[in-house]
Structure 1
């Protein structure tokens, strides 16, 4: 029997925001079509009208007609949503329907009145709890079986008593269908809950990525642009003094900041590209674009590291190279990438300046920014002057990332 249990609006699964539908009805259980229920119901009623006799407007025929109407109404009511019919009212309605079905079997002389009892018993198992459903189904079997067994109507000879006694058996089918539907709905609810959680996690990841990009853009451009603006304002003020030498000096600083900003922007765009190279190749590209070809030394067994580790190590290398160019212009730069069993280490060293350094605006990241990035990776970073070796008098930054 094709029963469909409607779900209350408050319990139905929420639809995706992109669906944009409001006020839609409850979602049916997969594999079931509510139209089948109505077709079967109308078929039972139609067959009853065509076969149940006597059927007229007087005497026994009038009683049969009234009982047929009551049975039809009781059967049609099974299409009512479960959440709109209180359980006490459903129990009363189904018990009355079963009583009317047994009476129809007793009053009619022939026909298919027993089908009403079968279908009502099945729906009782589907709509009610197990205990009240079994009680009403037992009452149905006793009434229908008693009518036939004790020959209480003119049509007792048309049906064996066993048909009446098994009239309540479909309650088991209804109970099984109800259990299956609830299991399917629970699985659907769990799947939709997991989907909502996945969408929330994806949205959180997108927001975190936007925040990261915003920080990177700020680190790369904001302070450099502020420095450029400051130099241009200074040049504008110097024009009024007529000191062209100082104007040229300030203008040169502004040009240098522009070139540095463009270089950092190229590195950042390279980092954000979906097809960005692995850590070693990315460092090589960064060094080549900054004019330090063949400055990278790799030790240990090269392996792929997580994207977030690559991203932060590249930003640390970028800041270290920027500081080397600013504070030690012309000095030799060396970058070491060491792959150990339990860690990945990046060292950026520069020798002493080969020419006079010019003061300029920083990139805004600095040692504090490096420490914040490495802390997110549970690593350590050290930075300080080199006191011995070929880079004596220079500066070294070392970041160690576990894993």
Structure 2
């Protein structure tokens, strides 16, 4: 069954039951007042934003007068229904003070009309007039509930907008992370491979096949190193990646630096994003050590404290000829960006004392 608007039901009941109805005298007055009251109720379906508060007050006041007038001229039927429904809508549309005032006015008018019509000896009819003001409380309750629902919807929309903005920020962050990963894995290696291939091409004209072969072998070794780094990048991005200590150990073993990791403090689980970023920092530091200090000793220290964790990568001076080529200069920038995402700090510079004097060190401190 389709929903039938309340004003239509009340109007139909009024035309069916109210007496007298006709084309003249009181019958015509009743018909006109039924139409006026029906139109007053029909406006209740117009959104609040379309009618100003002042116009709403005037319209409902006019409706109260029309409802009381209909009760005064009719001799039977459900004329009082208009008063009940109009007063109920008064409680929904108006502020509490204005609603209660207008509802009291309706109750007084209906009581006075019925009092003078039936006399003081017949208590039931004119006492019933007081009850026409009661629906204002129902209207006020519905108003409060409606406001609560609208507030909840506004809050939900705000939360949705915030979630969308957060998702967009996360996308931008992820793009930055992918850009750093692409750089860390490919930029250095491809630049070195390109340099060696250009060198081999240039040496072909000299006929020095030994140097051509050497450049070609270096390019091959760089390709193998790039593949190894790509594998570690995929490993770091996987959800089922190993814990940080095990991952660092495997990374050092695969790069030829067995037993180079020292762990201090109580090992604990850390979020996956911390593990991924620290692995990439360690990978970049080891790549730079292999490029700028080939043959140099490498040491990695992972220190856990109650409030932070520290990753330090140190390498000694080169023991073989350095042929690093021209780097992009983005390696340290990428490491700083990763540490900034974790709200930590990073320092990088030459080692001036100790067994690694003359080498390089990178130290990242992450809170938590």
Question: Would you say 1:62 and 2:28 are equivalent positions?
Answer: yes
Q: For each residue in 1:362-387, what CA deviation from the matched residue of structure 2 results, as whole angstroms up to 9, or x when unmatched?
A: 47455565455446643343443475
Cα deviation for residue 212 of structure 1 reads 1.6
How far apart are the structure 2 equivalents of 1:264 and 1:72?
79
| 1:278 alignment partner, one of 222, 243, 251 | 243
Query: Given the alignment of the two structures, is residue 239 of structure 1 paired with residue 201 of structure 2, yes or no?
Result: no
Shift of 1:402: 4.2
Structure 1: runs of 5+ lacking an equivalent: 1-34
Length-normalised TM-score, structure 1: 0.80
Higher helix share: 2
C-alpha distance after superposition, 1:170-193 (max 9, x if no partner): 122212221221122112212321
Offset of 1:361 from its aligned partner? 4.7
Query: 2:88 aligned with 1:122, yes or no?
Result: yes
Quote the Cα distance in structure 2 between the aligned partners of 1:152 and 1:347. Answer: 99
3-state DSSP of counterpart to 1:73 = helix
Q: How many residues align?
A: 365
Following superposition, the deviation at residue 118 of structure 1 comes to: 0.9
Distance 1:69 1:332 in 2: 98
- Once structures 1 and 2 are overlaid, which stretch shifts more, 322-331 or 249-258? 322-331
Offset of 1:350 from its aligned partner?
4.3
Residue in structure 2 matching 1:72, options 30, 35, 38:
38
Query: Judging changes above 3 Å, is the alpha-carbon distance between structure 1 residues 51 and 366 closer, same or farther for their aligned structure 2 residues?
Result: closer
> How far does residue 242 in structure 1 lie from its aligned partner after superposition?
2.6
- In the other structure, the counterpart of 2:253 is 288
Structure 2: runs of 5 or more not aligned: none
Give distance in 2, aligned partners of 1:251 and 1:235.
7
Aligned: 1:175 with 2:116: no
Residue 269 (structure 2) pairs with residue 304 (structure 1) = yes
The equivalent of 2:70 in structure 1 is: 104
Alpha-carbon displacement from aligned partner over 1:45-74 (angstroms, at most 9, x marks no partner): 222122111222233222222222222222
Could you tell me which residue of structure 2 aligns to residue 219 of structure 1? 184
Query: Are the equivalent residues in 2 in contact too, given 1:220–1:264 (CA < 8 A)?
Result: yes
Give the Cα–Cα distance (whole angstroms) in 2 for the partners of residues 79 and 251 of structure 1. 83
Deviates more, 1:228-237 or 1:288-297: 288-297
